[in-house]
Structure 1
Amino acid sequence: MIRVSLYEDVCDIRELLEETISTASDMVLIGSHEKAVDILENTRKEKPDVILLDIQMPGISGIEAALLVKEKYPYIQICMQTVFEDNEKIFAAICAGASGYILKASPPEKYVDAIIDTYQGGSAMSPSIARKVLSMFQNQNARVKEFVELTASEKKVLDLLVKGLSYKLIASELNISFPTVNFHLKNIYKKLHVNSANEAIRMAMQNKLV
């Protein structure tokens, strides 16, 4: 039996998925949660084989939660579910360690198939998601080339961001003003095609930019 933990903040969807998983013959639902803030503690207690994780969660996102789980429990498989077909979110989920990616519009049997595929080491993805992933990886060389456009100052800011320094401490460490730090970060986000510090850190680590 495949042990499944579920994370979904929308009550109606969560109840539907609870029923889908609970009635499947080859899996058992061991936990159902509306938030991912306690995902490490929940995972320690529940010991799931697969985590079905919504990408858009209150408190911390599914992508952030996936990163936490894979860092501490790399052997646990993660299948992301979302209403989004956004390239950046798909790429971020894969980089965070997700093995599968399913759209919420999928019928119950597709969810069951996705969980089984993820558990067995496959990459469960709908055809539209698979096409996007293929396109993204085909374009990776071009994107990595863009990373080298970071200036020396931007690379210093990014390096300190990866090391966990706050914006205020980055300004102090580099002897620059707080607005200057923000200016560099805006340019970094634009060049790395990200929208947050967490995504910038992930990109930096994945592509060994610092």
Structure 2
Amino acid sequence: MTKQFHDNHLSTDALDQIFREARSYNGWHDKEVTEQQIHEIYDLLKMGPTSANMHPGRFVWCVSQESRDKLAEMASEGNKEKIRTAPAVVIIGYDIDFHEELPWLFPHTDAKSWFEGDENGRKEGAARNSALQGAYLMIAARALGLDCGPMSGVDLDKVTEHFFADYPRHRADWVCAIGYGDKSTIFDRSPRPDFDKFNSIA
């Protein structure tokens, strides 16, 4: 019997919202991002795959004005106002010792032993997979009707020292503002390369 495959292609509107029409925002409308929405974003992003289900991403959600002002102090001049005025800014970091959680996250085998004694390897894997989780976060936020403003222009050492002070093995990597974007603050879209420019099929 021939297996039947279902066409689960997302609608054009959904793809536009998540990818084609989505933009990186520099300014925000004065509308709250709720704690429920933050939980909804996480509950989606956690379903994205990571190597050995390692989930190295560690997230600090700066929602209070005090926390956003503090984060803005650690940002480049062009990013300060974006951070201060966004309803929420999430710090995407990673745990160098993510392997300590693998006995319950990946119980099929002794995955923890794969990473013991190799801190450089753990840092590389944690950075790569937490960056994936940050991308899932942006897709989840957009899917839920929110806009994003990813930024790397922050002093990561200072952000790590302050926001991960209680977790000495965590490292900040980048930040992303989330809210309801003000369309008047976006630039013209930068070029996007055609398939043949950076792809080949072997």
TM-score by length of 1: 0.20
For normalisation by structure 2, the TM-score amounts to 0.20
The structure with higher relative contact order (CA 8 Å, sep 6+) is: 2
